[in-house]
Amino acid sequence: MEDATEIETTADSIDGPLIFHLVADLLGFVLYMHQQIPSILQDMSLEFDSMRSEYAEMEAELARSGMRASFRRKHSGRMRELKRGFRSSEKLMSAISSLQDALRLVISESPHVREILLILGGSPLRPRYVYRLCFSHGKMVSRDASDFTKNRAAEVLSRKAIRALVSGGAGSGGYPGPTKLFLLVKAPTSFNQPSYFLPKRDFRYNKKIVPFCLRIKCKSQQQERTEINEDPQTGMSVSLKDCRSDDLIWFQCRHVIKGLASTVPSAEE
């Protein structure tokens, strides 16, 4: 049996934007630590946008008349180089963007999400690694559901979560080869967005897999006595109040992130 690592946030409430930015940051962490992307996600995004912008500018310049043949050849060569660069990661960046859009959607409709899974492997049923997040929301605070601005509390929480995962050995299992990352969210049965999520009422991954589990709670939250039971899926002690409810089921995001082949040899090689 392995207990979840508890992490406190200084925020009075764990609202939708806090959850979104935590999951988005952990998604990038998981992809990078398991060598599914060549650099941290923020750097990849900046480089991708920069190449696309430079390509568009050079394309506009090339369309102008009066450019000398030598400059035209130079421009064309650079454009081919840029196109190869951003096309190699275009599908990946598009999948990440689509998954983040889906995450915003489910959080907007169900801001008090209790549990989220990030699963790395060939399929959700037979994962290589599972990252499980449980949330104790604290007091309810009204906030604009469309406002996903990242604040200081979100930045601090992401750093705490990543440090906790690193301390727990996350990413130390070697390079699994190019694989997939799946997002599953436990949401009310009334949630209905078939273009983005598929209901998986009886979802259970391979019981041999022990997940990296984080329980996120508010620092100001009063200590409440809640029923503790053993999760039959993971064998971990969990709060039934925080992570389980009869009207909550798993929803699997339709958007799947496929990792890039790594050029960096694993520690095992």
DSSP 169-202: TTT-S----S-EEEEEEEEETT---TTTEEEETT
What's the confidence (pLDDT) of residue 238? 43
Q: Tokens in use for 176?
A: 């699994």
The answer to whether domain 5-258 has CATH 3.40.50.720 is no
**Is 120 in a helix, a strand, or coil?**
strand
Task: Enumerate the domain spans of the chain.
Answer: 5-258
Provide the pLDDT for residue 241.
Answer: 45
Measured CA to CA, the distance from residue 123 to residue 258 in angstroms comes to 11
At 233 the pLDDT is 53
Write down the pLDDT at residue 138.
59
Please give the pLDDT value at position 221.
56
Rounded average pLDDT per 10-residue block, the chain, 269 residues: 78 88 95 91 90 87 75 84 84 94 93 91 94 79 68 92 92 80 94 93 89 87 43 44 66 95 53
